[in-house]
Structure 1
Amino acid sequence: MPAHFLQPFPDVGQIRVTREVTASEDAAIVMECGALHRTGVVGLDRSPVVNIDHHLGNTRYGAINWVDESAAACGELVFTLLEALGAPLTKDVATHLYLALLTDTGSFHFSHITARSFEIARRCVEAGADPQWIARTHYDSSTLGRVRIFGHVLNGMQLDETGRVALLTLTSETAAASGVSHDDTDGIINFPLSVKEIEAVVFFRQAGPDWRISLRSKRDIDVGAIARTYGGGGHKNAAGCTATGELAPLQKHFISLVVAETDKPSENKAIETASHTKSNPQQADPQEASTETID
């Protein structure tokens, strides 16, 4: 999460940012990271690693691995740990946990949300977390540069031939000229998904010789599988990876992969079709019911 978004939240000043773990540490707890090399932290091999995550494809790199792929957010795992320890759910702790739920579930949009997600959110609110303050503080803290780069990137949005997959691009040159950081582009990939016809988004951000590729999708379109093929990770509807090469061929390749995913039969569509046919038998030929799809 961009650092400036965290500043108003309780006790953030106590966090010490480091890129290296020393041998004097008793343990290193790594959260929200599917593979150790993706942390960008040096020296994690000097201490026992506790790996806490909920992403598909986690490589189980820790001395202790607590990976629950059914959890909608790492905040759910932290809440479970606090319960097991009998730790009090103070207002400040509840505020951070609610923020973790809010951001990790895409504001409660993603498909992996469960009843437990809302139960934990309820417990946090009961403990003093203020949903309105948290949402406004997080989402209404943009910089002017961030808003302008959003406009620039979205203005350059392209669609594939089907009109279902959107492509966004941000080069290092454009980012430098705008004076924005990598953090300032956080969240931009979600905007195209508000268009009814768009089912997936691919966002290319240049980082030195590499391209950081973010993927988002709706419903049963599994972009996480694509990311894992290229050493990345994430969830079915939100994932990312890194690739090196010429931009145009890379974009063409990844668009083709995403389009192929959108063309796969949807489990949800099949369920909707069966339900529709059962309740409206006169509207569908029984022999064709298994292949009919309803959006």
Structure 2
Amino acid sequence: MGDLSGRTFLVSGANTGIGKETARSLAGRGARVVLAGRSEERTRAAMTEIADETGNSDLDYLRLDLGDLASVRSAAETFLAGGEPLHVLINNAGLAGARGMTESGFELAFGTNHVGTYLFTELLRDHIVASGPGRIVNVASTGHYRPKGIDWDAVRQPTVTRTAFDEYCVSKLANVLHAQELGRRLEGTGVTTYSLHPGTIASDVWREVPFGLRHVMKLFMKSTEDGARTSLYCATSPDVADHTGRYYDNRREKQPSKVATPELAAELWERTEAWVGSTKGA
């Protein structure tokens, strides 16, 4: 990655798993890292660990609950009020295996993994452009190949499937589509966008899966260190500095699902924009 001194990164879901490893690697290269998450206690514990290991204490905590749009707006407002630049936003936070609805009235995975992420990104977008050149990275999943499309009614209702895996995959398709359309909208600004599959990783994204099944699943998964590599590649590598809106797997560009068309990306954007309301300022 090279020296990242003078660059500010914001990583959501950074107190555990892939997000924590991403923050650790960035801090180890001298970056200022803002760790966003729901639990201040867990995040500050991660910050202490990262500072002790890397010698870099230029870390900060930002409270963020992506399932609650009021929390998303508050988090963006708090960050912007600090007046510091933001060069790279890594939308890492997400959940899988949980059923229900978000505080803001969306299917739980879709509302957390896509809607909250979309709003947070939009509220910070102009600031990233002003701080540029910059990057916006969405951690998606190979699961995005599974859906045949997006059921616009289903994403506004409680989870239907027992495992919530189908809903999770729809939310990951939305992450890919979001990066595509955002890349198109940011052309010429100096800010580039990326979506990626981190690998099948033994991380806390599976925390809602029943314990026995979760334990067996993790036996066949890669480490969180492996999982952070493609996120770091998209966030820092000069090899992809001129690319935007593309999808990556194992630090290589890969063709996304055939469902991930510009038309669906534009429709998702328009619908999400209408759902969340104003994104002008926090």
Q: TM-score, normalised by structure 2?
A: 0.28
Structure with the greater relative contact order (CA < 8 A, sep ≥ 6): 1 or 2? 2
**TM score, norm. by length of structure 1:** 0.27
Larger C-alpha radius of gyration, 1 or 2? 1
